[in-house]
Structure 1
Amino acid sequence: MIKSISKILNDSMETFLPRICTGCESRLSNDELVICNDCLNDLVQVDEAAIKEEYDNQFREFGFVKDIFSLFRFEKGESIQKIIFSIKYGRRFKTAKYLGELLGEGILQNRESWEYSFIIPIPLHKVRLSERGFNQSEYIATGVKTVTGIAIDNSIIKRVKYTETQTKKHKTERIDNMKNAFGIIKKENINGKSVLLVDDVITTGSTINAVADVLMKNGAKNIFVASVALA
């Protein structure tokens, strides 16, 4: 109930506040949605060669994830970082959903061969969820759902270990940090099913690999991954 009230208040605040760009905080024109055209033009799209390189470097050796897709290159100090940080720390929920819709369109256009039964946003631990008040990946996943029509299922897996922030950790430290971090809730819901994992940014892939590992060990058929940005 508290979480529902909080969501209503947050959505209401975003509705009645002045319409400003999530990236640069300039006022939006009537034909601009949540990100101004200048900031949208600043976003660097990730090409297929970069996506393949990321997959080969971060996912192939583990064998849990079948394929990945991402929209933009995450660059420090640029519009994409400001936008992602505004979602995570500035509660820009409409922006998260909008980026999710762009991601959904990208999936339909570039990964038409993907077949999956439902979408799973990368879960937060209950402590961090309580601290932040929301999971940004859920809002992004909602946008993906709007475009693809595939349902979201949060009942399958949860984060069972509270971990330190990954931001300043190296790849090996991130992998160690994520060991036993996730646990299955309903094995029967995943057995024989293919799923799409959704996150905001793929960095080293350690969190995603940890989730995919648990899902595959509990009978998942295929794991696909989509993110707004690629670091």
Structure 2
Amino acid sequence: AFVNKMDRTGANFANALDDMRKKLRAYAYPVYLPIGAEDNFAGVIDVVNQKAIVWGPGDVGEDQGLKYDVTEIPADLQESAATALQELIDAVSNKDDAIAELVLEEKPVPPLVLKAAIRRLTCKLELVPVLCGSAFKKKGVQPLVDAVIDYLPCPLDIPPARGHVPGTEDEAVVDSSDKNKFCSLAFKLWTDPYAGKLVFFRVYSGQLKKGDTIYNPRTRKRERVSRLMVIQGGERKDVEQAYAGDIAALVGLRNITTG
């Protein structure tokens, strides 16, 4: 979970965390704490590594929030950071045997071991790691992206997608692998002022290269792939190939619909 708009008037991380626990009944524990709030929001505390990530006054415009420093935790916040770490370890140990064993033996819990346990519980929907920041000012976004890698499941961690063989009622199991046959799902259509009609798709298995021919079971037509793109914010990047797990965009296809 990401508590956004920490720079706005009335921002209160503790209240948001309390609402998650009471109203949503989530087993939620912070892995990052805010440094300040509202106009004084300056950064976040990495609870697991016990470090502070601080953004200065920063640049304006597109470069705002891109520069930050990893420092020691300010003296006035060290106690709350240590308390949050202990609460996080206790919460994880209640549900993970590896951490529970370290706690019972009164051994220290290394950050990498704790991260691995948080990931196991997150993948099983037994724990909600909570972060905070200001997306508009790009403060806290970098730790959020890192947390996606650290804690959320990759395609290999979840059960394979299932569908039907076109024209039959036979079930097809789509394992996420670059070596399997190409299979993807088109989930969004968008008109770009420069590239034209874009079809966003997610690759479930196999690979797709420029020049390949793809089959659409809905329209029962085949089309040739002439251009592949990856959209990153406002940047459009042409790529030669898309792999299992990738999200990319096709340019120039005619017979694709969603819904």
Q: TM (normalized to structure 1)?
A: 0.27
Q: Which gives a bigger RCO, structure 1 or 2 (Cα 8 Å, sep 6+)?
A: 1
Please identify which structure carries the higher strand content.
2
Structure number, greater radius of gyration: 2
